[in-house]
Amino acid sequence: MLSVLRRSRPVVSRPAARVCYSSTATKSSSGFFRNAWDSYTSLLETHPLSTKIATGGAIAGLGDMGCQLVLEEKEKHKPLLDVKRAAIFTFLGGFLISPVLHVWYGFLGSRLPGVSAAAVAKRLALDQLGFAPTFLPVFLSSVLTLEGNKEQIPDKLRADWWTVTKANWGVWVPAQILNFRFVPGPMQVLFSNVVGLLWNAYLSYVSHADVPAKGLLEDGDEVDH
C-alpha cells in the first residue's frame, strides 16, 4: 500500500507545478505591461511633448507601412517597403502632427474645460469644423513636399481635399466624442494616435494615389461629352 502511494505522488504534483508555472508567467506578463504603462504615464508628466512626439512618430510610421504592405499593390520592379516614404510619415507624425495636437488639445482643454455635453459639443465643433479641414491640406502638402512632388499639391488638394475631409468626419467625430468626454487631457494625443494608426494608413493611401493634372481632367471631360 505504501509503495502505491509513493508511485502516485509524482502524478499528482506535476499538474500543480504546471499550474504554478502558468500562474507565475501570467503575473510576470501583466506586471511587465503594467510597469510599461506606468513608465509611459510618468514620462507624459515629466516630458509630455517629447513623449508624444516619439509615440506619434512610431504610430504614423506603422500606419504607412501597413498601407504599403496591405492596401497597395506592389509592382514587380519596386521593393516591398519604401523605407524613405515610411520615414517621412514617421517624421511628420512625430514633428508635425503630435506637437500640433499637443498645443491644440491644450488650447481646447483650457478654453472649454469640463466633460459636460455642452463643453464636449463645443470642442468637437471647433475641432472638426475648424481645425480638421484646415490641417488636412497642411499634412497632405507636407507629404508631397518632403517626397519632392511639390508641384502636385494643387491637383492633389483639388482632387482629394473634400473626400478626405468627409472621411475624416466619419472616423473622427465619434472618436473625438469619446476622446473629449472620457479620456484625460494628458492621454488625448495618445488616444488620437492609436485611432490614427488606421487613419494614417488611409492618409498614406490617399496621398500616394495618382492624380491627373487639372488640364488632363478637363480634356477627359471634353472627350466624354
The four Cα atoms 145, 150, 156, 162 give a dihedral, to 10 degrees, of: 50
pTM: 0.79
Q: Express each pLDDT in 108-147 by its tens digit.
A: 999 999 999 999 999 999 999 999 999 999 999 999 999 9
Q: Express each pLDDT in 46-103 by its tens digit.
A: 999 999 999 999 999 999 999 999 988 877 777 889 999 999 999 999 999 999 999 9
Q: How many CB atoms lie within 10 A of CB 198?
A: 13
List the domain boundaries for the chain: 1-46, 48-211
Three-state secondary structure call for residue 78: coil
The closest of 29, 25, 56, 52 to 41, measured between CA atoms, is 52
Q: What is the DSSP code (8-state) at residue 208?
A: T
